[in-house]
Amino acid sequence: MARTSPNIIVTGTPGVGKTTHCEVLAERTGLRHLSVNQIVKDRECHEGWDEEYQSWIVDEDKLLDSIEEEVKQGGCIIDWHACDLFPRSWIDLVVVLRTDSTMLYDRLTARKYPEAKLQENLDSEIMEVLLQEARDAYDEEIVVELMSNSSDEVDGNVDRIEAWLRQWRQDNAPAT
């Protein structure tokens, strides 16, 4: 069945501003914010806790099973620092947020990330790992890279995504 509302992934290295964007976007558009972090924790889609990295070891099959019905209905904003696990047929737009490394360092330090995790995430941002993952997993026309250094950029990005959403709804309106 065709979706009447699109599904959007908002991805990027931890600390780039995914949650910040998704919350504003959900409020302004009425789409549902699916915080994968929260779902992994609440629905126990994991194989335990990694002490060194201070994060859950995600069971991807269980996660996908758990969200499949909801996502297939459309209208979801998926907030997660990985994207290539979600089937291409589920996804209409992939937003990859980017941040300058000095700013990311400050944000992750404020979160008290352990040293190994901090360094790995900074390297990942500099090496554009998530952007590449998104480009490898999805058609390039649906992957958009947006900067997230300031709150003005959050507003501008949300405006752009809202404009995209209006267009998507127009293009996918049921024939009358």
Residue 19 labelled as part of a binding site? yes
Residues contacting residue 112 through CB under 8 Å, at least 6 positions apart? none
Which one of residues 20, 29, 55, 73 is an interface residue with ligand DAT (CB under 6 A)? 20
CA dihedral 56, 61, 63, 64 (to 10 degrees): 150
Distance from C-alpha of 66 to C-alpha of 164, rounded to nearest angstrom: 28
User: What track of x and - describes contact with ligand DAT for positions 100 through 119 (by CB under 6 A)?
Assistant: -------x------------
Residue 11 labelled as part of a binding site? no
Contact stretch for ligand DAT (CB under 6 A) within 38-46, 56-64, 142-150, 162-170: 142-150
- The enclosing H or E element of 36 equals helix 36-42
Residues contacting residue 115 through CB under 8 Å, at least 6 positions apart? none
Distance from C-alpha of 4 to C-alpha of 20, rounded to nearest angstrom: 25
Which one of residues 8, 14, 76, 131 is an interface residue with ligand DAT (CB under 6 A)? 14
Per DSSP, the three-state class of 101 is helix
**Minimum distance from residue 174 beta carbon to ligand DAT (Å):** 34
Number of residues that bind ligand DAT (CB under 6 A): 15
**Minimum distance from residue 94 beta carbon to ligand DAT (Å):** 15
Residue 15 labelled as part of a binding site? yes
Which one of residues 148, 158, 161, 165 is an interface residue with ligand DAT (CB under 6 A)? 148
Binding site residues, ligand DAT, CB under 6 A: 12, 14-20, 107, 148-151, 153-154
